[in-house]
Amino acid sequence: MNKLWNQVDLSWQWLTASGQWHGEESIPHRLFQHLLYSGAALLFAALIGLALGLLVGHTGRGGFLAVSVANIARAVPTIGLVLLIVTVKYSITPQVIALVALAVPPILVNTFEGVRGVDPETRDAARGMGMSEWGVLWHAELPMALPLILLGLRTSAIQVVATATIVAYPGFGGLGRYIVDGLARNDYQLVVGGTVLVVLLAVAVQLLFAALRRFAVSPGLRGSARSS
Amino acid sequence: MEIDWGWIGEHTDSLTEHALTHLRLALFPVVFGLLISLPLGVLCRRWRWFYPPVLTAANVLYAIPSLALYMIFIQYTGLNESTVMIPLTLYSLSVLVPNVVDGLASVSEPVRQAATAVGFGTLRRLVQVEMPIAVPVVIAGVRVAAVSSISLVAIGQLIGQGGLGEDIFRGYQLNFPTQILAASVLIVLLALVTDALLVAVQWLLTPWARARGRAS
């Protein structure tokens, strides 16, 4: 208990030290970098995952292949990809690719499952009302798949926010800087402080998605999503 | 980027050794995670109010970067394998607990009542009826947990326990992409084999699903 309290005390001292709030090394600057890397990765991953998931889910073709490839992609060690890319080209832009690879599978699989899970009778009813294939996808399948899609996006967002810390290892910025530097200098306070920031960010992501769910999901569908 | 095939040929022994360590570091946590999740999931089904706080706690744990969690546990467990295994066990809970709960929820009410009607007590019904029916959903969770655990172990190398992570970091330090690539590909292969084995386990544990497949 004593050790735990010590950690809380250390991180509080670190967070409130005035030096943390200005300049290149400051928390706002590191947080901005972290959000930039994670945001870019998530945006690209969402574009890829949603497009493929909707396409495969709607047509029903290639579902097994898409899910299998996504599951293999889950196995790729992000640190291996990050360090491999660095040995080829030292730049932050390609590093985002490693984070995209991490974020696509949950989005793709959940989008696919969400669209597949739409009751065929509902789909037929939408066609019967004279909707085009786009209309069926846009007005029937997408809204009904939305709870699962949001869950997939949330899983990816949390993974990316937590994992973006490792790009600090080969020398890039973001909140991982504090953890990696703390590790190198044996400065425990720095490690715990950085960790607390990442966890707070992840909690903020959770809250954001809870809010999104309230606003975006049709009232008739709430409470129907299951995680996968 | 050039791949040095000769290096891979000369280092099969050390790669195999690292791969075995890697599997041990990755899979024990999933087993421990399952041993914790099964009773926890049963409790969450019994007392519904218990589930949301457990789920939130598991999700918050999942959001802590592995790098940081290893560092925090060093204070308590030192520089050894348990420092890598404990965080991985905690991560697995965020997948396994919801799947155990969903799996138990997938048992239909008539089945439950039928079990009671033929004289099953609560415990026997749980072990002989509800658990087997929950197997497919639970195994789906175990597959995700095992695959992510295998890919996460590599970071443990920062505290000296990384299995194939050792080759990833060594390759980076020596600026030798072949070693990073070989280790990463091996990690993906380990995950694929483990995943296939888990599918086989599910096949063995659910003979009724096979019978149904043959009948239709």
Q: Is residue A207 part of a domain?
A: yes
Q: Which residue of B has its CA nearest to A179?
A: B68
Least Cα distance to B92 among B60, B68, B62 occurs for: B62
User: Residue A78's domain is classified under what CATH number?
Assistant: 1.10.3720.10
Q: Is residue A64 part of a domain?
A: yes
**Domain ranges, residue A209:** 26-221
**CB < 8 Å from A in window 167-186 of B:** 168-169, 171-172, 175-177, 180-181, 183-184
Residue B215 CB burial class (10 angstroms; 0-12, 13-18, ≥19): exposed
Question: For chain A, what percent of residues have pLDDT higher than 90?
Answer: 33
Question: Of B162, B101, B161, which Cα lies nearest the Cα of B131?
Answer: B101
Q: In this structure, which amino acid lies at residue B190?
A: L
From the list A72, A83, A166, the residue facing B67 with the nearest CB is: A166
CA atoms of A185 and A179, how far apart (whole Å): 10
pLDDT tens-place string over residues B109-162? 999 999 999 999 888 999 889 999 999 899 999 999 999 899 999 988 888 888
Residue A10 has pLDDT above 80, yes or no: no
pLDDT score for B5: 86
Q: Does any domain span residue A191?
A: yes
What are the Cα distances from residue B91, in Å, to A6, A121, A180, B42, B95? 24, 39, 21, 19, 8
- The verdict on B75 touching A (C-beta cutoff 8 Å) is yes
Position A93 confidence tier, pLDDT thresholds 50, 70, 90: confident
pLDDT of residue A186: 83
Residues 6 or more apart in contact with residue A88 via CB below 8 angstroms: A94, B1, B177
Domain count, chain A: 1
Calculate the average pLDDT of chain A.
Answer: 86
A81/B contact by beta carbon, under 8 A: yes
In a domain, A107, yes or no: yes
The verdict on B98 touching A (C-beta cutoff 8 Å) is yes
- CATH numeric code, B25-206: 1.10.3720.10
Say if the Cβ atoms of B102 and A87 lie within 8 Å: no
CB-based contact A80 B183, cutoff 8 Å: yes
Assigned domain for A2 exists: no
pLDDT score at A15: 75
pLDDT band at A18 (very low <50, low <70, confident <90, very high): low
The verdict on residue A143 lying in a domain is yes
The closest alpha carbon to B157, from B84, B77, B86, B91, belongs to: B84
Structure tokens at A228: 């996968």
B29 close contact with A: CB closer than 8 A = no
Q: Which residues of B51-61 are buried (b: 16+ CB within 10 A; e: fewer)?
A: beebbeebbeb
Banded model confidence at residue B213, pLDDT cuts 50, 70, 90:
low
Q: Which chain B residue has its CA at the smallest distance from A168's CA?
A: B67
Q: Cα dihedral sign for B148, B150, B153, B154?
A: negative
Tell me if A66 is assigned to some domain. Answer: yes
| H helix count then E strand count, chain A | 10, 0
ipTM of the complex: 0.83
A72 found inside a domain = yes
- Judge whether residue B69 has pLDDT over 90: no
Nearest Cα to B154, choosing from B136, B171, B138, B178? B171
The answer to whether the beta carbons of residues B216 and B200 sit under 8 Å apart is no
Query: What residue spans define the domains of chain B?
Result: 25-206
Residues of B in contact with A7 (CB under 8 A): 72
